[in-house]
Structure 1
Amino acid sequence: MRFFAFGLIALPIVEIAIFIKVGQTIGLFPTLALIIGAALLGGVLIRQQGLSVLTQLRNNVSAGRMPGKTIADTMMIGLAALLLVLPGFLSDFVALALLLPPVRSWIYKSLASRVTVVDATTATYRRQDPAASRNEGVIDLDDEDYRPR
């Protein structure tokens, strides 16, 4: 929790310092153009990568595989989108890095080596005979057993 609070304070300070240094080096308008260009490039990459991840997720679910990597990719793309909304070079750099599939794969592998997945499903599914399920809950009446109201 301490590191999170420190990060909330330090990130804007670092972003402002980088803005100032880049602005002094290349000027105001090129600096603003870089920030806007990074946001536009990020938007295009997010759309492309997001659609790709949705296709992979659909394929994993239909094949009956655990979509762990696909879900992790989706979360990292969402984090990249959040970071692209924040103005600044450091957050844009991290966001654009998260949009690259090799970087996401490396992060996933390093995190997956520390996590153990346990299948905790306890439900069992029983396939019933369709003919038996049709007769279940049906009461067959003869003509003499039926009385209109």
Structure 2
Amino acid sequence: MAMGKTPGNRDDEGDEGVFAEINITPLTDIFLVLLIIFMVTSTVIVQQGPGGGAKAGLKVNLPKGGATDVTARSTDLSVAVLADGRYVLSGNVVTTDELKAAFDKARTENPETLVIVQADEGVPHGTVVQVMELAKKAGLAQLAIGVRDGE
């Protein structure tokens, strides 16, 4: 705080007082400079993303799968989703009801059963989610996505 005569005091007694007012102009300047720095750096970060622009966060670069990610056990259940939307379980094409029954049976045999969903590249995301939801409703909480080797 600055020392000096208080405003409005016309006495020349030589008493020095404390200013009662705070000058907020320097504080406002600092905040505006910080705001500008934040805006510039956030714009640079968004533009450096893949694809650039405001939609840079929408692109997904999926990682390549490795053979060591998930090792299938004999108790695990592998479900393949074909490009036309059919489900394959143990080499046989099954319906949704048969898939539910298989999930229920797997849960009663071993509640820690891992469900591995192997979907064709052309399968819509919603179909894969439906299979995963069927497994979760049956009580199988351990889910994995099967991928090809990244080599």
- Larger relative CO (CA 8 A, sep 6+): 1 or 2? 1
TM-score by length of 2: 0.24
Q: Work out which of the two has the higher radius of gyration on C-alpha atoms and give 1 or 2.
A: 2
More helix by share: 1
More strand by share: 2
TM-score by length of 1: 0.24
